[in-house]
Amino acid sequence: MVFNESEMLGLAKDGESSSGGEVDKETSNIGIEDNPGKNVTHEEHHNTEVIQEQVDEVVDRIDEEVVNIDNLHDYNLAPDRERRQPKALNLELHQLDIKMTFLHGDFEEEIYMAQPEGYVRGAKRSTFDLCVYYKELSNGEFIYLLLYVDDMLIACKHMDEIDNLKKLISSKFDMKDLEEVKKILGIDILRDKENQEIFVSQRKYIEKVLERFNMGGANPVITPLAPHFNMGGFAMDPKKAASSYRCHEHERSSLLQFKQSFVIHESDSAYSKVSSWNGSKDCCMWEGIDCDEDTGYVIGLDLSSSHLFGSINSSSSLFRLVHLRSLNLAHNDFNRSEIPAGGLVHLSKLTYLNLSESVFYGEVPLLEISHLSMLSSLDLSESHYLTLNGSKLISLIHNLTNIKQLLLSDANIDMPIADILENLANYSSSLTTLDLAHCGLYGEFPGLVFNLPKLQYLDLNSNYQLRGSLPDFNSSSTLTHLKVAYTGISGMLPASVGNLGQLIVLQISDNKLSGHIPSSIGNLSLLTTLDLSDNNLEGEIPSSFYQLKNLESLDLSRNWLSVVDLEMFVSLKNLSFLFLSYNNLSVISSFTRSNTNTTIAQLKILELDSCKLTNFPEFLRNQTKLSELTLSNNSIQGLIPISVFNMSVETLGYLDLGYNSLTGFDDQSAVLFNPRSKLEHLYLNNNKLKGSLPVPPPSISDYDVSNNALEGEIPPLFCNLTLLGDLYLFDNSFSGKLPPCLINLSTLYILQLEGNHFGGTIPDTWTNKCNIRAMILSENQFEGGLPRSLVNCTGLEILDVGNNQINDTFPFWSATLPELKVLVLRSNKFSGAIRDPDPYQNKSRAIFPMLHIIDLSHNSFSGPLPHSYFQKWDAMKVFKDQEEPAYLAITITNKGASREYLGIQTSLNLLDVSSNRFEGEIPELIGDLIGLHSINFSNNFLTGHIPSSLRNLSKLEALDLSYNNLSGQIPQQLALLNFLEIFNVAHNNLTGPIPHGQQFDTFLDSSYEGNAGLCGKPLSEECGNSKDSPPPSSIVEEEEETGTALEFGWKPVVIGYGCGLVIGIVVGHFVIHRRSVWFVYTFRIRPPK
C-alpha cells in the first residue's frame, strides 16, 4: 500500500497546537491496511462518549511510560492542517524500543482487540489520538513523536534534532536505538524519498499466519480493502518488489544449517527467534533476519536471547553470510567455545558486532576483529570467561578508528588503564560509549579520556586497583553517564563536576572521596541518578540539591555527612529512591501533621538506617507508593503506629524497623490481619517488644522478631502463612511445643529458634516436600530423639540442636544428606558408639559429602573414633583458599587465648568431639583431612601416640588433645605447621622433648602441664634430666573442674559476596545474616546497599 507523505503526517489526530490554535475537527478517508493487533469491522459503531472513555484510558496507560516528556519539553498533541503541507516532506523516520517495558498490570482487551475508536462507517479517521506529539523547532519546522506502548517513532527533517530527542528519551528509559525504521508492529516500511512516498506491507506477518495454520499454498480471497490492493507485495514497481525481499538460496541454506548446529532451549516462557526458520522459502521473512532492499542479501542477523546452546567454529555456515553488516548473538550459551577467529575475517562488512553474555571462552581474537575496518560498535560485555591481550587491544584501537561503541565489561584485561585510555584519546575521536567495568584494570586514573570530544557513556566500575583522583571537567563535555564506582578513586569531588551539564547518571560510590559535596552539583539539571555512597564525604548536604528537578535516585549512604532536613527534597518531584543510611547524620523533618500540602515526592524506596531518628517521620503518612522502608539502627521508642503499615499497604513489600527501642503496636490486630497487605519482608529484631508473638500478614516471606522480650507459644495462625520462608525467633522467651503444621510448610527455608524455652519432642513429620536449608534449635529444652524424617530434607545444609535434652544415638542416617555442611549435636544426651553408616564398605556411597563443621562435644558417645567417617569426609580433604568475604567471625577460646576466624564458608573446616567417652587410638588417616582448621579431641579416653600424619594439615590453626591418656613423644614434624596458633596437650602421659621453632616457640607452659615426662622450653625441665612419669590423672575429675579446654563462640560479621555455603550461623549461638549477596540468590532477599 502507498501513502503520500503529506497524507501520512495527517494520520496524527488533531489537537491544540503549541500556539494555542483551534482544534481541527476535520476527518479524512485514508485507507488503512489491517494491523495484526486490531480487528477492524465496518458495522460496529462507537459514539463519541465511548470513544472518549477509551481514549482517556489509553492516555492513562501511556502516561505511566512517558513520564514528564510532555512536561519537560512541551510536546503538544496532534498537528493541525499546517503540519500537513508539502514543506514538511522528506522527513527522516527513526525508531526506538523500550528494553524494560514499564507496563505493570494488564490492558483491557477491548482497547486493542475490539474495534478501535474511530473506525466507524467506512473507517474514517478519529478526531482523537493522544499517541502523537509534536514540537515546533526554532526554525519553524517540526519534530514528531509517535507512541505505541513500547515502540516509538521519531520524524523530523534534521538528524541532529532526532539525535537530541533520542538522548533525552534514553535518559528516562532503557532504550534500544533501532535507527531508521524498517519494520514496526509487524508492518514493513520502505521509503522512496525521491518520489516522497512510503511503502508499507504486512506480507511477512500474513505469511507467518498462513504457515502456522498450514495454509501457505492457499488461494487468496477478497479482503476488506479495495480489490486492487495487492496483499502479497508492495504497491510499487514489481521488479523492485521482487528483488527487495527474495533471499538467495545459498544464504537460506546457510541459515538453516546454522540453526541445526544448535540445541534450542525453549520452554513455555521462552521463545527462540529461529523457531520461525522453516517452511518459508524467503528467509528474509524469518524473524531476526534483515535483507538488503535492493539485492536481497542478508545484511542483518539478530539472534539475541534465542536460547541457542552449542559451539561455533570457524567453518560454521554463519560465515558464508559475507554481506552481513550487523551480527547480534548476545545472551545465548555457546558452551565455553572460543570466538571463531577464522570465521570473523570473512565478515568484512560488519559495522555492528554483539557477542555479549554468550558464554564464550578464552582469548578474544582481537587481531582478527581489528581487520573489520568498518566496525563502529563492538560489544563483548558480561563475558566472564574471556581474556583480552593488552598489546592486541591497543592494535585494535589503532585500527578501528571509526569505533563509536566499545563495550568490554567483565572481560579479563589486566593491564594499566592508562595504556587503554590514552590510546583511545589519540585514535578514537568518534567514540561515544566506553564500558570497561570489572576488567581488572589498574594504575593511575588518567583524565585524558575526558578529552574525547564525543564521549557520552563511560563505565569503569569495579576496577578495584585503580587509584588517583578525578580531573577537572570542561564545560564542553558531552558526557551523559559517568560510572566509576569501586575503583579506589580518592581526593575531593571537584567543583568542576558542575560543568558536566549533559550528565544524566553520576555514580562514584564505594571509593575514597573526602571533603564536602560541592554546591556546583546543583548545576546538573538533567541528572536523574546520583550515587555517592560509601565514601568519606562530610559536612552538610548542599542546599543546591533542590535544583536537581529531574533527580529520581539519590544515594548518599555510608559517608560522614551531618544534619539534613528532609524538607530540602520537597522540590524534587521526580525523586523515587532516597538512601541516606549510615552517616554521621541527624535527619530532621520539618513536616507537621497540619502541613499536608508540602511533602516529599511519592518515594518507592526510602532508607534512613542509623540516622539518629527518635520517632517516625511525619511525612510517611502521605507516602502511598513505598515498596521498601528501612529505619533500623535508630532510637525510635514506644509503639509502632498503624500508619506505618497503612501508608503504602498495597505496595510496601520490605520493612526493617530492627535495632530500635520499640515496645509494641498501637493497633496490633489491624497490623496483623490486613488482607490488602503485600508485605513480604518484616524485620522487628533487636527491639523491646513484649507480650505474645505478633502474627504477620499472610503475604509474609521473611519474618524476624529475634532479640526481643516476647513470650508464649507460637500461635496456630502461623500455620496459615503459606508463603513463609525464613523465620527468626531466636533470643526471646518463647515456650511450648513446636507446631507440626509449621514443619509441614513446604516454603520454609530457615527456622532459627535458639535461645528460647521450647520443649517437647521435635516433630517427626518432615516429608519429601521439605525445602528447609537451615534448622537451628539450640539452647532450648527439646527432648526425645532426633526426627529421622529429616532424611527427607535433602537440601538441609545446617542442623544445630545443641544445648538441649535430646536423648538418642548418633544419627547415622544424616550421613546421606547430600548438602549437609554443619552438624551440631553438642551438649545433649547422645550416647553409644558411632555406628558405621557403610558396613558393607561400598566405596561409591557418599558419607557426609559436603560436611565442613561437626560438633559432637559434651555428650556420652563411646567406642573408637569413627574411622570410616574420616575416610569419606571428602569436603575436609580439600583446602580452599579464602578468596571471598566471610559469612561469620568465629572466636575460638583456649583458656584465655582467642583466635578469630573470618573464613566461615566452604573454606572453614572444624572437628570437635571433645568431652565424650571415646577410646582407642587417633587414626593416622586423620592426616588425610588436609582442609581442617581446628581439631578438638580433648576430654576423652584416647590412648596411643599422637599421629605424625598431623603434619599434613598445613592449614591447621587449633589442635587440642588435652585430658586424654596419650603417650609417647610429640611428633617433631608438628613444628612445620606454620598456622598453628592454639596447641594443647595438657594432662596426658607424654614424654620427651617439646618441638621448638616457629609456632612452638609461642605456646605457654600451660599447653603442656600434667605431662611429667615432657622437657624443653617453655617448661623449666631441661631434657636429659627427666624424672619418672607419674600415673595419669583422673580425666573425669579434671573435666568437672576445668571444663573443655577449647570453646567455640560464633558471631555474625558484615556479610560480603559469596555463592556456596549457607553458613551464617552460630554453634551454640548461630546467627544467619539475612542480607548477604548469597542469600539474595538463594532466598531472594534484598542485600544491603
Tens-place pLDDT, residues 293-306: 889 999 999 999 88
- Sequence-distant (≥ 6) Cβ neighbours of residue 160 within 8 angstroms: none
Q: Indicate the pLDDT class of residue 859, thresholds 50, 70 and 90.
A: very high
Q: Could you identify the residue written with the cell 482487551?
A: 109
| Chain-centre distance for alpha carbon 983 | 43
- The Cα–Cα gap between 175 and 185 comes to 17
- The Cα–Cα gap between 60 and 519 comes to 38
What pLDDT score does 130 carry?
53
Give the mean pLDDT of 686-704. 94
- The Cα–Cα gap between 231 and 207 comes to 10
Q: Indicate the pLDDT class of residue 563, thresholds 50, 70 and 90.
A: confident
User: For every residue of 205-256, which 3-state class applies, written as one string?
Assistant: HHHHHHHHCCCCCCCCCCCCCCCCCCCCCCCCCHHHHHHHHCCCHHHHHHHH
What pLDDT score does 1078 carry?
27
Per-residue cell: 467:
587509584
Strands 151-156 and 142-148: antiparallel
Give the mean pLDDT of 902-906. 42
Strands 982-984 and 750-752: unpaired
Question: Residue 926: CA atoms inside 13 Å, Cβ hemisphere, count?
Answer: 22
Please give the single-letter amino acid code of residue 35: N
- Residues 603, 623 contacting (CB under 8 angstroms): yes
Q: Is the pLDDT of residue 964 over 60?
A: yes
Q: Of 28-42, 436-450, 763-777, give the lowest mean pLDDT range.
A: 28-42
End-to-end C-alpha distance for the chain, whole angstroms: 55
Q: Is the pLDDT of residue 102 over 80?
A: no
Please give the single-letter amino acid code of residue 529: T
For the chain, give the percent of residues with pLDDT over 70.
Answer: 71
Kindly report, residue by residue over 1028-1047, the tens digit of the pLDDT. Answer: 434 434 433 333 334 444 44
One of 1.10.3720.10, 3.80.10.10, 3.40.1010.10, 3.50.40.10 is the CATH number of 579-712, namely: 3.80.10.10
Per-residue cell: 64:
505511566
Count Cβ neighbours within 10 Å for each residue of 982-1015 and write b for 16 or more, e otherwise. bbbbbbbbbbbbbbeeebbeebeebbbebbbbbb
For the chain, give the percent of residues with pLDDT over 90.
Answer: 48
Give the mean pLDDT of 527-544. 94
* Residue (of 350, 276, 275) closest to 318 by Cα position: 350
What pLDDT score does 668 carry?
66
Kindly report, residue by residue over 337-357, the tens digit of the pLDDT. Answer: 999 999 999 999 999 999 999
Q: Is the pLDDT of residue 228 over 80?
A: no
Q: Could you identify the residue written with the cell 563411646?
A: 862
- The Cα–Cα gap between 230 and 223 comes to 10
CA-to-CA dists, residue 107 to 116, 855, 1014, angstroms: 14, 58, 85
What pLDDT score does 595 carry?
54
Kindly report, residue by residue over 397-424, the tens digit of the pLDDT. Answer: 999 989 999 999 999 998 898 888 888 8
- The Cα–Cα gap between 514 and 655 comes to 32
Look up residue 922 and give its DSSP letter.
Answer: P
| Chain-centre distance for alpha carbon 921 | 50
- CATH code assigned to 810-1083: 3.80.10.10
Q: Could you identify the residue written with the cell 542546599?
A: 543
- Sequence-distant (≥ 6) Cβ neighbours of residue 459 within 8 angstroms: 409, 434, 435, 436, 437, 481, 483
Please give the single-letter amino acid code of residue 455: L
What pLDDT score does 80 carry?
38
Q: To the nearest 5 percent, what fractions of the chain are helix, strand and coil?
A: 20, 25, 55
Backbone angles phi, psi at 844, to 5 degrees: -85, -10
Per-residue cell: 749:
527455608
What pLDDT score does 140 carry?
74
Look up residue 519 and give its DSSP letter.
Answer: G
- Residues 740, 765 contacting (CB under 8 angstroms): yes
Q: Indicate the pLDDT class of residue 170, thresholds 50, 70 and 90.
A: confident
Q: Is the pLDDT of residue 614 over 50?
A: yes
- Sequence-distant (≥ 6) Cβ neighbours of residue 582 within 8 angstroms: 557, 558, 609, 610, 633
Q: Of 65-74, 193-202, 460-469, give the lowest mean pLDDT range.
A: 65-74
Look up residue 427 and give its DSSP letter.
Answer: H
Q: Is the pLDDT of residue 669 over 70?
A: no
DSSP for 127-193, written as a single string = S--TTEEEEE-TTS-EEEEEEETTEEEEEES-HHHHHHHHHHHHHHS-EEEEEE--EETTEEEEEET
What pLDDT score does 460 carry?
94
In terms of DSSP H, where are the helices of 407-546?
417-427
Q: Do the two domains 713-808 and 810-1083 of this chain adopt the same fold?
A: yes
- Sequence-distant (≥ 6) Cβ neighbours of residue 471 within 8 angstroms: 447, 450, 494
Beta bridge partners of 262: none
- The Cα–Cα gap between 209 and 203 comes to 10
What pLDDT score does 933 carry?
93
Look up residue 305 and give its DSSP letter.
Answer: T
What pLDDT score does 727 carry?
95
What pLDDT score does 191 carry?
66
Q: Is the pLDDT of residue 557 over 60?
A: yes
Q: Is the dihedral of CA 463, 466, 469, 470 positive or negative?
A: negative
- The Cα–Cα gap between 1021 and 260 comes to 82
- Residues 624, 602 contacting (CB under 8 angstroms): yes
- The Cα–Cα gap between 738 and 691 comes to 18
Per-residue cell: 449:
579520556
Kindly report, residue by residue over 623-659, the tens digit of the pLDDT. Answer: 999 999 999 999 999 999 888 888 888 899 999 999 9
Task: Compute the C-alpha angle 561/565/567, nearest 5°.
Answer: 140
- In this prediction the pTM is 0.71
What pLDDT score does 213 carry?
59
Give the mean pLDDT of 697-705. 94
What pLDDT score does 326 carry?
96
Give the mean pLDDT of 462-474. 92
Strands 733-736 and 709-712: parallel
Q: Is the pLDDT of residue 99 over 60?
A: no
What pLDDT score does 711 carry?
96
Kindly report, residue by residue over 229-252, the tens digit of the pLDDT. Answer: 344 433 444 433 444 457 899 999
Please give the single-letter amino acid code of residue 993: P
Please give the single-letter amino acid code of residue 192: D
Mean pLDDT of the chain: 78
Q: Is the pLDDT of residue 1051 over 70?
A: no
- Sequence-distant (≥ 6) Cβ neighbours of residue 45 within 8 angstroms: 120, 121
Look up residue 416 and give its DSSP letter.
Answer: B
Q: Is the pLDDT of residue 107 over 80?
A: no
**Count of beta carbons in the 10 Å neighbourhood of residue 499:** 19
What pLDDT score does 179 carry?
79
Q: Indicate the pLDDT class of residue 959, thresholds 50, 70 and 90.
A: very high
What pLDDT score does 53 carry?
56
- The Cα–Cα gap between 16 and 435 comes to 44
What pLDDT score does 266 carry?
63
**Count of beta carbons in the 10 Å neighbourhood of residue 124:** 13
Where exactly are the structural domains of the chain? 2-245, 579-712, 713-808, 810-1083
Kindly report, residue by residue over 12-42, the tens digit of the pLDDT. Answer: 333 333 333 333 333 333 233 333 333 333 3
What pLDDT score does 875 carry?
86
CA-to-CA dists, residue 569 to 308, 573, 691, 1016, angstroms: 48, 8, 39, 72
Q: Is the pLDDT of residue 1083 over 50?
A: no
What pLDDT score does 16 carry?
38
Higher per-residue pLDDT: 427 or 616 = 616
Count Cβ neighbours within 10 Å for each residue of 128-161 and write b for 16 or more, e otherwise. bbbbbbbbbeeeeebbbbbbebbebbbbbbeeeb
- CATH code assigned to 713-808: 3.80.10.10
Per-residue cell: 657:
524497623
- Residues 39, 115 contacting (CB under 8 angstroms): yes
* Residue (of 294, 279, 263, 10) closest to 134 by Cα position: 10
What pLDDT score does 435 carry?
95
Number of helices (H) and strands (E), helices first, in the chain? 18, 68
The residue count of the chain comes to: 1089
Give the mean pLDDT of 970-974. 93
- Residues 642, 610 contacting (CB under 8 angstroms): no
What pLDDT score does 208 carry?
63
* Residue (of 534, 540, 530) closest to 557 by Cα position: 534
- Residues 149, 75 contacting (CB under 8 angstroms): no
What pLDDT score does 56 carry?
58
- The Cα–Cα gap between 1083 and 749 comes to 8
Q: Could you identify the residue written with the cell 566471610?
A: 886
